[in-house]
Amino acid sequence: MKTLSEHILDIVQNSVSAKSTLIEIIVEEDKITDLYSLIIRDNGCGMSKETLAKAINPFFTSRTTRKVGLGIPLLKHNAEAAGGSFSLESELNVGTVLTARFQLSNIDRPPLGDIWETLYLMFLSYTDGNLVYRHKTEKGGFQISSDELKEVLGDVSYQQKEIREGILELIKSNLEEIGITK
């Protein structure tokens, strides 16, 4: 995984499979503490203590189509390689919180990538609940959620050119405002 966006796209799939109705993605940049943190929180089915302990093992997966599960281990590895830390907390029938911290100034910290494209694709695919994205920098914050979009756009297909470009521009211009580029 070359960018944080790709990690987000990947990890959120776990929350979707866990039948979550609320998925929150929170990215925070803090120059003072030199921390870049990514938190993904859901209210899905959660994991038992045993499963949780196995989740960071690359040779564990809940799938039957293959024998490895690399999403979480890869993110953990990237965080630790960039002077950060990783934690995963979960409770059965309550939900899961994943936290990956990176050293902000670390050269090995993956760039954010084109998060607007990523969010767009997630909004397009995840229609069972509310997906919230929040980004905070020292210049301010931005938040967007699939519920808000649904409220504004109604039954219109997000694949429609005007709508797609509108959503992308909304996210992109607001992120640029708080100093975020790829």
Partner 1 sequence: MTKIKTLADLRKMKEEAQSKIKLRENSANPDQVVQVKVGMATCGIASGAKETMKYFVEELEQEAIDAVVTQTGCMGYCYAEPTVEVKLPGKEPLVYGHVNKEKVHEIIDKYIKRGELVDGIIPVSFRTIDD
Residues binding partner 1 (CB under 8 A):
1, 5-6, 9-10, 13, 16-17, 63, 65-66, 69-71, 74, 117-118, 121-122, 124-125, 127, 148-149, 151-164, 166-167, 169-170, 173-174, 177
Separation of alpha carbons 85 and 112, rounded Å: 17
Cβ atoms within 10 Å of 3's Cβ, excluding its own: 16
- Closest to partner 1 by CB, 35 vs 45, is 45
**Sign of the four-CA dihedral 45, 50, 53, 54:** negative
Q: How far is the CB of 7 from partner 1 (least distance, A)?
A: 8
Q: How far is the CB of 105 from partner 1 (least distance, A)?
A: 26
- Closest to partner 1 by CB, 69 vs 84, is 69
Q: How far is the CB of 114 from partner 1 (least distance, A)?
A: 8
Q: How far is the CB of 51 from partner 1 (least distance, A)?
A: 16
Q: How far is the CB of 24 from partner 1 (least distance, A)?
A: 18
- Closest to partner 1 by CB, 61 vs 99, is 61
Q: What is the DSSP letter of 177?
A: H
If we measure between CA atoms, which residue out of 94, 4, 8, 110 comes closest to residue 49? 94
- Closest to partner 1 by CB, 49 vs 67, is 67
Separation of alpha carbons 86 and 102, rounded Å: 9
CA angle 151, 10, 114 (to 5 degrees): 70
Separation of alpha carbons 11 and 19, rounded Å: 13
